[in-house]
Amino acid sequence: MARNILATGLNLLLRRQTNILTAAFIIMATIVLSQILGLVRQRLLVAIFGASNTLGVYLASSKLPDFLFQLIIAGALSSAFIPVFSDYLGKGEYDKAHRIASSLLTFGLIAFSVLAIVLFIFSYNFSKILAPGFNNEQLVLMANLMRIIIVGELLFIVGSFFSAVLQSYNHFFIPGIASALYNLGIIIAIVTLYPVAGIFSAAYGVILGALIFVLIQIPLVKSVKFSFHPVFSFREKGIAQIIKLMWPRTLSIAIFQLGTIVTVTLVSFLSDPGRKYVIFDYAQTLSFAPVVLIGQAIAQAAFPVLSREKDKIEDFKTTFLTSFNQMLYLILPISVLLLVLRIPIVRLVYGASQFDWQATVLTGKTVAFFSISIFAQSLIYLVSRGFYALHDTKTPLLVGALTTFLMIGMGWLFIFVYHAGVESLAISFSIASILNLLISLIIFDIKVGGFKKFEFLFSVSKIFFATFFTGFALYIPIKLLDQLVIDTTRTVNLLILTGISSFAGLSLYLFLTWLFDVKEASTFLLIFKRIGNWREILSKSEETLDGTRFKV
């Protein structure tokens, strides 16, 4: 009996997803696993090394290898490859689709390898440019770590390509699990190699994690009959389409990554720079968790549908607004929860003995400033994919460039003119993210011929209004119980306090959105009410991944 249930459940997860809600559910489930493992990795690192300069150097050492990966391959996959590849699959031209994929992967591996060799040889020089405030010992360590991490990024390119191919076939579970197990590889390497390799154990873990990421996808890649052949087939029409679509996105990613790199540079000018970068990175990781879980998951699930509906503009707008409101409904209460409960959450997630109280408070303050823009960071994923689905990659590039340079300018002003701390960089990031969203939405509205603005704004305002009162419902119990009832120096008591406050706040949010007749509240209440019949709920989603609709 148990074996049959397991086999049935596994079969459901391995087969193609057929609608946005099912796909988003699968993506969210695998992202939750990935985020949990990612936080375990972060806590393990801080438990061993503390909020130290050594850990800060390791975190900074991954930025340039990641920059190369994002520059060479991420732009092509996120904005160009999936729409073009999906179009060929939809026409039944599987051989052409696979030939295009092989050509692009060959080009990506060669281009990355050439740049990786340059980075490998001159890693110390690049480290000195990236973090001029680090001392010589820290720069040497950073260079050596960078050389190891770059090997893992090469493997990660192959795994990311496999994921894009499988997602184009509407397979989301295996790519998601593979991505989650990447973090598990790093954890295994840290636990087993730390006694002999120290901080280098984490860098070796990047290679192990990337290898797991590739290997676990190979059986399903074979099942969809994709096989890699190292060819250059740039005369294919599809390759020309991909290049035309990808270059603005690649420039956009390069500019955004430039902002990330300049952040490392700015932090390096603060006192105790390695420790300050640990605080910044850990605060960003915590605040980005809901962005990836909700923003990326829903946008990723909606992207294939938006791509297919680009010529049916009314259906396109309906899909976009449905995804927009669902994302906003889920992300806003999490944002205010992080804002109000920042210190307890930081203590629970990173509260190892090596993460001292001063680091906890400063991390909490930085998380608070990041949390202000979590909704914008999430929705930018969806709006950008809306532009990509319409084969417009230039607008996100221009808007992203404008707001990234604004963020860099504000960061420079805060650090060198006002002599502010590391939390000021989170303020710069949040302001830039909110402006990015607002400008993008205005342009997107014009591009699609206009949304029904009153209906749209009325729906959004109800969600924001409910979120405002949710903040009070979170704040009041935690203040009363913290000062009058519960001793929060103990982890169990802190967990109880955070749980009570979260339950009170989120319950009020659910009640208010139901009271205000927010459509998304009714949808999710129906799912919870009929949770025992979850397969039927998921199969009755209004929007399918092939662009058709079910009637509920």
Burial of 91 (0-12, 13-18, 19+ CB in 10 A): exposed
Contacting residues for 336 by C-beta, under 8 A, at least 6 apart: 371, 467, 470, 471, 474, 505
pLDDT band at 537 (very low <50, low <70, confident <90, very high): very low
Determine contact, residues 49/131, Cβ cutoff 8 Å: no
User: What is the DSSP code string of 231-246?
Assistant: ---TTSHHHHHHHHHH
H/E run at residue 288: helix 273-290
pLDDT at 532 over 50: no
370-397 average pLDDT score? 90
Sign of CA dihedral 325, 331, 337, 342: negative
Confirm if 20 and 301 have CB atoms less than 8 A apart. yes
CA–CA distance, 29 with 25 (Å, rounded to integer): 6
Residue 280 confidence class, pLDDT cut points 50, 70, 90: very high
Q: Give the separation between CA 459 and CA 544, rounded to whole angstroms.
A: 24
- Residues 418-447 have a mean pLDDT of 94
Residues 165-186: tens digit of each pLDDT: 888 777 888 888 998 899 999 9
Tokens (6 digits) for 134: 């680090």
For 272, phi and psi rounded to 5 degrees? 55, 60
pLDDT tops 70 at residue 482: no
Q: Which two tokens stand for residue 28?
A: 């969210």
Residue at 375: amino acid letter: F
300 SS3 class: helix
Reduced to 3 states (helix: H, G, I; strand: E, B; else coil), residue 544 is strand
Among left, alpha and beta (phi > 0; psi -120 to 50; other), residue 490 is beta
pTM higher than 0.85 for the full model?
Answer: no
Q: What is the pLDDT of residues 192-202, one digit of tens each?
A: 999 999 999 99
Q: How far is Cα 170 from Cα 15, in angstroms, rounded to an integer?
A: 9
pLDDT digits (tens, 9 = 90+) for 201-240: 999 999 999 999 999 999 988 888 877 777 766 666 777 7
How many percent of the chain have pLDDT more than 90? 38
Instruction: Give the DSSP per-residue string, 403-469.
Output: HHHHHHHHHHIIIIIS---THHHHHHHHHHHHHHHHHHHHHHHHHTT---HHHHHHHHHHHHHHHHH
Taking each helix axis as running N to C, give the angle between helix 491-515 and helix 313-340, from 0 to 180 degrees, rounded to the nearest 10: 140
